[in-house]
Structure 1
Amino acid sequence: MQAEGSVSRRDMLKTFVAGAAIAAPALANAEIDYANLPYLGGSDKIDVNNANIRVYTKLPGMYPSIAGIIAKNGPYQTVEDIYKLPKLSAEQKEIVKKYEKNLVALEPAPEYQEDIFNNGLYR
């Protein structure tokens, strides 16, 4: 016997199933993988707007100083915007120029902005 005003398990299950049926089409459209995932460290190209600064260790001379400046001052419309940064010395700009073919400026993705400075080294 149920107390007055309580909800039965059966009614709760019906509500859950109905909610799941409504949410299913939205879940079917969810982005499973970030399309630009290779540019976050899995290819020879690095996305200057979304890649973590640790990825720049693949390019000698870029990490940590230049990588930090790039990550801190983005997002960029184009890779060439990096050369406009007043914090980069002429020598640093030459290093960036050396690797320019390895850099791309893709649309910033909010889910990657949070960890852009996390270099993966925990102490």
Structure 2
Amino acid sequence: MASSLAAENTDRRAFLNAALATSAAVVAASPAGAIRDYEAIGYLGGSDKVDLNNANVRVYLKMPGMYPAVAGKIVSHGPYASVGDVYKIDGLTGGEKEVLKKYESRFVVTAPSPDYVIDRINNGLYR
């Protein structure tokens, strides 16, 4: 009885090791979901231009007066077909429109990318 129990444990261990090795190989071979060579990557916070459709809310910290109110309205609306569409956001105050006008030359609009739109409000990066 003891020898059959030991053999069963050995078989179980061998099976689990094989299953673990197989799953590790599958995970290691899976490509990442994000676009590696995204042509508009500079507009997500790495340049003086900001993409209204894909940039994260925190990018607007670089523009005094934009964060958090105006920036929050930009990222929670859209997509935008043109920079001028940002003025169509419901509830913008006169002061907020003035702030938008101040930075309008820094805004660009590219096609929304699912890899970046999902992170517009919360990208999971914390101080």
Does the alignment reach a TM-score above 0.5?
A: yes
> What is the alpha-carbon root mean square deviation over aligned residues?
1.8
Aligned to 2:121: 117
Aligned to 1:52: 56
Aligned to 1:40: 44
Aligned to 2:103: 99
Q: Normalized against structure 1, the TM-score is what?
A: 0.71
More helix as a share of residues: 2
1:1-123 to 2 correspondences below 5 Å = 32-118=36-122, 120-121=125-126
| 1:32 Cα offset (Å) | 3.3
Larger of the two Rg values belongs to structure: 2
Q: Which amino acid aligns with 1:100?
A: E
- Paired with 2:36 and 2:75, the residues of 1 have a C-alpha distance of 26
| 1:121 Cα offset (Å) | 3.0
| 1:105 Cα offset (Å) | 1.0
Unpaired runs of 5+ residues, structure 1, are 1-19, 21-26
List structure 1 segments (4+ residues) > 3 angstroms apart after TM superposition. Answer: none
| 1:111 Cα offset (Å) | 0.4
Q: Which amino acid aligns with 1:69?
A: K
**The residue matched to 2:53 in structure 1 has which SS?**
coil
Q: How many residues align?
A: 94
- 1:87-117, Cα deviation, whole Å (9 max, x unpaired): 1101100000000000011110000011110
